[in-house]
């Protein structure tokens, strides 16, 4: 009899424990739900504050409410800001007769206000003369370059050639015959601003590029992510800072481009120009 009573008591205690666990579980769920609802409301307010920031695109998103649920809808940014797609052809350029027509058609059908395509050719241009042997074995022909521009024009897009003129010149400086052009002889990234041959080489490259882009009214001269050491043996001692040497190089490139095609608009990446040694230099 005592065993039976003990068993009954055990069952009742076990059920009481199970009921307590279920109740605790429901309380936890309710608590998390309440906090999640509060956090969601805070996030909506945060987004509203973010897009009131005058330094961000003002029309990137708009919101409406449906059944008390906030819905975000993309509005494709500022309509007054020209938009371009950047294509970097380093390594594996797509076939000119198989890719660009369909790609440009896709951009046109997006209806996102894309104005053109910035093409960073690197070693895919069909160069001649002193530069004839530095192109990739799968480089484009002049007919390919013309085909790309015709396809772009058909879809209302402009082509902006991007030619690196300071850093990111490994495709040239890796070659032994151009080793002496390096800013640091051990590194093939940046070209030295101390050599007259540097500007002869870059003028030849820019001239051939613009000759293949007769309808382009804009050119991009790169100059991003440059680590300038000024260690080429040809570099003389100077009191100028690295930032002044960098700016002087860009000015020389700009003058070369304007000599080739006066009136063309020239673009440059601004990451280097935004660092403190440029911003705080009173001479610049």
Domain count, the chain: 2
Q: Are residues 230 and 165 in the same domain?
A: yes
Q: Are residues 65 and 174 in the same domain?
A: no
Confirm whether 225 is a catalytic residue.
yes
| Domain end (from 46, 74, 102) | 74
Q: Are residues 182 and 66 in the same domain?
A: no
Task: Dump strand ranges (E) for the chain.
Answer: 61-66, 69-74, 83-88, 114-120, 158-162, 182-184, 187-191, 218-220, 265-267
Q: Are residues 39 and 100 in the same domain?
A: no
pLDDT recorded at residue 281: 78
d(CA 82, CA 158): 12
Q: Are residues 45 and 167 in the same domain?
A: no
d(CA 262, CA 138): 32
Q: Are residues 198 and 66 in the same domain?
A: no
Residue 98 lies in a domain: yes
Q: Are residues 220 and 262 in the same domain?
A: yes
Q: Are residues 8 and 145 in the same domain?
A: no
Q: Are residues 100 and 67 in the same domain?
A: no
pLDDT recorded at residue 71: 45
Q: Are residues 122 and 259 in the same domain?
A: yes
| Domain end (from 32, 53, 74) | 74
Residue 170 lies in a domain: yes
pLDDT recorded at residue 18: 72
Give the global pTM.
Answer: 0.72
Per-residue pLDDT of the chain (284 residues; tens, 9 = 90+): 566 566 656 666 677 777 777 777 677 777 766 666 555 444 434 334 434 444 444 444 444 444 444 444 455 556 678 899 999 998 788 999 999 999 999 999 988 889 999 999 999 999 999 999 898 888 999 999 999 999 999 999 999 999 999 999 999 999 999 999 999 999 999 999 999 999 999 999 999 999 999 999 999 999 999 999 999 999 999 999 999 999 999 999 999 999 999 999 999 999 998 888 888 877 66
Residue 199 lies in a domain: yes
pLDDT recorded at residue 10: 62
Residue 284 lies in a domain: no
Q: Find the catalytic residue in 108, 170, 225, 244.
A: 225
Residue 115 lies in a domain: yes
Domain that holds residue 32: 2-74
Q: Are residues 221 and 149 in the same domain?
A: yes
pLDDT recorded at residue 277: 81
With H, G, I as helix, E, B as strand and everything else as coil, classify residue 154.
helix
CATH number (domain holding residue 214): 3.20.20.80
pLDDT recorded at residue 58: 46
**Contact (Cβ atoms closer than 8 angstroms) between residue 245 and residue 284:** no
Condensed to tens digits (0 to 9), the pLDDT of residues 199-248 reads 999 999 999 999 999 999 999 999 999 999 999 999 999 999 999 999 99
Residue 9 lies in a domain: yes
| Domain end (from 44, 74, 104) | 74
H helix intervals, 69-164? 96-110, 142-154
pLDDT recorded at residue 43: 43
pLDDT recorded at residue 12: 66
d(CA 209, CA 199): 15
pLDDT recorded at residue 220: 98
Residue 148 lies in a domain: yes
Q: Are residues 104 and 159 in the same domain?
A: yes
Residue showing tokens 């009173």: 282
């Amino acid at each position: 009899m005592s065993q039976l009573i003990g068993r009954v008591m055990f069952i009742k205690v076990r059920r009481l424990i199970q009921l307590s666990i279920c109740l605790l579980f429901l309380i936890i769920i309710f608590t998390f739900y309440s906090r999640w609802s509060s956090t969601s409301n805070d996030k909506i307010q945060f987004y509203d504050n973010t897009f009131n920031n005058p330094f961000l695109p003002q029309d990137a998103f708009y919101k409406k409410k449906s059944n008390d649920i906030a819905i975000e809808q993309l509005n494709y940014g500022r309509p007054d800001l020209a938009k371009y797609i950047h294509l970097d052809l380093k390594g594996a350029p797509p076939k000119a007769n198989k890719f660009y027509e369909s790609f440009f058609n896709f951009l046109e059908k997006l209806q996102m206000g894309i104005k053109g395509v910035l093409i960073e050719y690197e070693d895919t241009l069909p160069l001649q003369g002193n530069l004839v042997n530095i192109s990739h074995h799968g480089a484009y022909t002049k007919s390919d370059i013309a085909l790309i521009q015709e396809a772009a024009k058909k879809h209302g897009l402009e082509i902006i050639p991007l030619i690196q003129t300071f850093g990111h010149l490994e495709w040239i400086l890796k070659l032994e015959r151009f080793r002496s052009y390096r800013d640091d002889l051990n590194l093939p990234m940046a070209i030295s601003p101390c050599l007259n041959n540097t500007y002869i080489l870059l003028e030849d490259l820019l001239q051939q590029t613009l000759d293949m882009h007769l309808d382009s009214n804009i050119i991009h001269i790169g100059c991003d992510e440059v680590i300038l050491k000024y260690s080429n043996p040809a570099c003389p001692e100077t009191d100028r800072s690295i930032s002044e040497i960098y700016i002087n190089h860009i000015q020389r490139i700009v003058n070369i481009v304007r000599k080739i095609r006066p009136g063309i608009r020239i673009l440059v990446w601004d990451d280097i120009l935004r660092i403190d040694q440029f911003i705080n230099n009173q001479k610049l």
